[in-house]
Every structure is written in C-alpha cells, then in structure tokens.
Structure 1
C-alpha cells in the first residue's frame, strides 16, 4: 500500500506522506512539525562549504578505512512522524543503502551549514530533532562567516557536549574519524 500525500505543501503531512510528495516536486523541502518548508537558493559560499565538507569527510573515511559513507544534501533524515530534515552532509556506517532510497535511517554524523534564514532552525529544532535519533553521535554546525564549527557530541546517557572550534582537528569517534577544521571550509 502506498501512502498518498495530502494536497499541496500547505496541508499538514506525516513524514511518510512528505517523502512521497517531495520526491515529485521541483526544488528542495523539509518537514518541521508536519509543515512543509521550501529551502531557499544558496549562496556560493554556502555551496562551496558543503562541497569542502563532503570532500573532507570522504577523505577522512578513506584514510580511516571505515565501512562508512558520506552523502551530500539531497537525502532526507526522518526524525519522527512529523519531521524530516535534509542536512547539508551526513555520514552513515554499515551496509550500503539501497541506491533508490530517499532517506538515511541511521546517520552517525550530520552537518548543517548556517545561512541567515535558517540559523534559528539549525541551532534549535534541528539540534533537538537530530539528537532524538539514537544513531547520531555528532552534529556539526558550520558558520561560514566566522569559519567556526559548533560540534555537538553525544556523550554518556543523555548528555550532549558542545565544543566550538576555529582551528585544529575534530575527533569524530565513533566512528573514528579525524577532520581538520580548516578542511571543512571553502578557501576564503
């Protein structure tokens, strides 16, 4: 049985309805508390930072020889029945996902690059939502203007530790990656 989405992006949707609806739409969207939000066009600095991040994470995975994969934006992370986000990059480990999948069920690392319009969502609803996923170990928020990484890391129990880094290396363990902060950003 297939899930039929409600009519139009103004109707409230479940995550299942949203994934079916979004696949056939031009542009990019996210689902927050059952409401569909269009994603704005990106600035070049934002796009270049996403590319640099994708490349840095991929290189780190290859260096560490881990059974993990990095994906750029375009795939969805389902938070619950009423929220699905599209991060700027993510890492998952284990078996390769079905090439036709549109969602990643167990991300280990999620990256969001701040933009003026979505800053409050990335540091609020997404921070809370992503850490509801048991698989998530690291949430990196990249501030391109300050060339700063806000690294939220799951610790013991329900504790989330935060580190703000402008230089040096980020230790992303698990899964066992080391990434230089400078490598996450496009050249100035």
Structure 2
C-alpha cells in the first residue's frame, strides 16, 4: 500500500520525493506538486536547440560557465522549485551528484499551451527573485519568437521580443542567434 503524501511540501521534501519517482517530471508551486504534461516534438526540439546554442556560445568564448538542459531544479524559495527547460550558471562546475542549481544566470522556458500563463507571468517574477538571475528567455515555437527579459544593472527588468538576429546575454558575455533556436522546427 502506498504511503499517503502530504498535501503541501517544502522544497527539501519535494526534491526527496521527486528523486524517488519512477517517471514523470514535476514542479513545486507554493508547496503544491504539479505534474508536467508530455511534450510535443517541437517543444523538445526547441529545448535541445537552445541548450546546444548556449553551450556552443559559451565554449566559443571559453567562459567558465556551463549550459544545462532540463532535468536539474532551481529552488526559488522554501516551497517553490522549478525545472527550467535550460539554464546557464557560471563559476566552478556544479558537483556531478547535485540535483539543484542555486545560481543560474540565464533561465529558459519553452512555452506550451498548458504552460504559457505560468511561464510568462508567475515564473517571470519568481525567477527574477533569484539574485543571480540576469536573463529569462521565453521561447515560443508557434510564434517563432523569443522574449528576452533582462535584469539591468539598476535592477530594472527590460523585455525585447526577437524573431531574428541575435540575443545578447551579458553577463556572461555571449550571443545566441534566434535562427539557431528554431533550426529544424
């Protein structure tokens, strides 16, 4: 018989619980677990493309940063844990057995019909509550555009919608071509 799970989780309880699950992807919003829906092929392709583009840009510049695909978590606070579609962190490499990244510089979400409202609203505010967060990219495969939210030096958040050209991500000091994100879609 399966143990009943609590109605609300802390971030620590959620991560321990999620590591025990045989399959599926989950996030924790204000103490409540949300299962993430299966992904469409273009969603998965866009996630892979942005991760590859970020990884290549970092490698080309030889920066002490790493791009990570989805799978690792980002703790927002004591009862909220997200799993971005890609992220970049800088500094010494994260330990290989780590399950969370606490200092992302760039966070990426590829919107889907079921996640659009959360990705463009709640996560925007919550990701920028992290002191390390400087860029939040929202990739829209249907509209073939990227909304780039950037925290300026004075703390102001600015936004640009790009359908072509390059996305300047400084820090860490790289550029990613919008066309590379949508290649093959």
Specify the alignment match of 2:170 in structure 1.
173
Q: Name the counterpart of 1:17.
A: 13
Aligned to 1:118: 115
TM-score, normalised via structure 1 length: 0.94
Check whether the contact 1:30–1:36 (CA below 8 A) recurs between aligned residues.
Answer: yes
Q: Deviations over 1:93-112 (max 9, x none)?
A: 00111101000010000000
Could you list the per-position Cα deviations for residues 134-170 of structure 1 after superposition, in whole angstroms to 9, with x for gaps in the alignment? 0001000000011100000001333100000000001
**Equivalent of 1:80 in 63, 77, 80:** 77
- The alignment's C-alpha RMSD in Å is 1.2
State yes or no: 1:136 paired with 2:133.
yes
* Stretches of structure 1 lacking an aligned partner (at least 5 in a row): 1-5
Q: 1:156 aligns with which of 142, 153, 156?
A: 153
* Per-residue deviation, residues 61-82 of structure 1 (Å, max 9, x unmatched): 0111100001100000000001
Q: Distance in 2 between matches of 1:28 and 1:119?
A: 17
Following superposition, the deviation at residue 7 of structure 1 comes to 4.2
Offset at 1:184? Answer: 1.2
Name the structure 2 match of 1:91: 88
What are the ranges of 5 or more consecutive residues in structure 2 without an aligned counterpart? none
Residue matched to 1:59: 56
Runs (4 or more) in structure 1 with deviation over 4 Å come to: none
Structure 2-normalised TM-score?
0.95
Aligned to 1:3: none
SS in 2 for 1:20: helix
1:183 to 2:180 alignment:
yes
**1:129 aligned counterpart, secondary structure:** helix
Asked if structure 2 preserves the Cα contact closer than 8 Å seen for 1:46 and 1:144, the reply is yes
